Amino acid sequence: MKRHYFILIFFLFTGCAALNPWIENVNIIPIPYEIQAGQEMAKTIIKETPLSTDSALNAKVAAIGNRLVATLPKKDFNYAFYAVQNKEPNAFTTPGGKIYVQTGLIQFSGNENELAGVLAHELGHAYNRHPSKAMTRTYGVEALTNLILNKNQSQLKNIALSVAKTGILTKYSRNEEREADEFAFNILQKAGYPTTGLVSFLEKIEKLQTTAGGPTWLATHPPTPERIARLKALEANQKPGSITTAQGSRL
């Protein structure tokens, strides 16, 4: 833990300017604090956004999520999956491995394979700790230091309130979205799901974008046709069984 505090002190004295060239991969939040932040955010999200009362739907989401989690080579978090009562087709991940999928997306996905593809993508964000990296970029070192040291819990609640209302934590980078797609491709294979489910879901999203503009949260994602092409290339060329980590190594 001393190493984490050294890193915090380093960032505070060098300032944000030193982060700019490589800030995308900076994560100053130790895992225990990331878990705590997710737990605190969950309290606000549950208060502001009703979870689905459909027990069968909740069981389905949890079963798919846990099947994916069972194949992970390491588990830094106690991953949890929730069905949220919201007509918008969206899913989001908070720090510490809590993954929320809105009922509008469940209906939009149409089948288990497509839903598994979405959950695998969100699991990729959680596994590679994209939420805490995004919070570092969005809220800055000083604010996050206060959160880590439990000096500004009101800001954490405000962040959670924003998530509850919009279903969006922070803007992931396009590289992080690509990384989550590749992670999803690999984890789906290991869990025994066809990777075509994620592709077909994205093809439906692409069609929605051409007819109605698509959900606003897709603006920060790589172009949908590009994502589809990358996944199809993986289907054609990549052998199953490896998972992409945040550092790009294979497990």
Could you tell me which residue, 101 or 147, shows the higher pLDDT? Answer: 101
> How much helix, strand and coil, in percent to the nearest 5, is found in the chain?
65, 5, 25
CA angle 103, 182, 106 (to 5 degrees): 10
**Cα dihedral 140, 175, 34, 153 sign:** positive
How crowded is residue 230: how many other Cβ atoms within 10 Å of its Cβ? Answer: 16
Q: How do the domains of the chain map onto residue ranges?
A: 2-237
How crowded is residue 19: how many other Cβ atoms within 10 Å of its Cβ? Answer: 17
Distances (CA, A) of 100 to 26, 125, 130: 24, 12, 15
Distance CA 217, CA 122 (A): 14
pTM over 0.85: no
pLDDT in tens, 51-88: 999 999 999 999 999 999 999 999 999 999 999 998 88
Q: What is the DSSP letter of 97?
A: T
Active-site residue, from 34, 40, 114, 122: 122
pLDDT in tens, 123-142: 999 999 988 888 777 776 66
122 labelled catalytic: yes
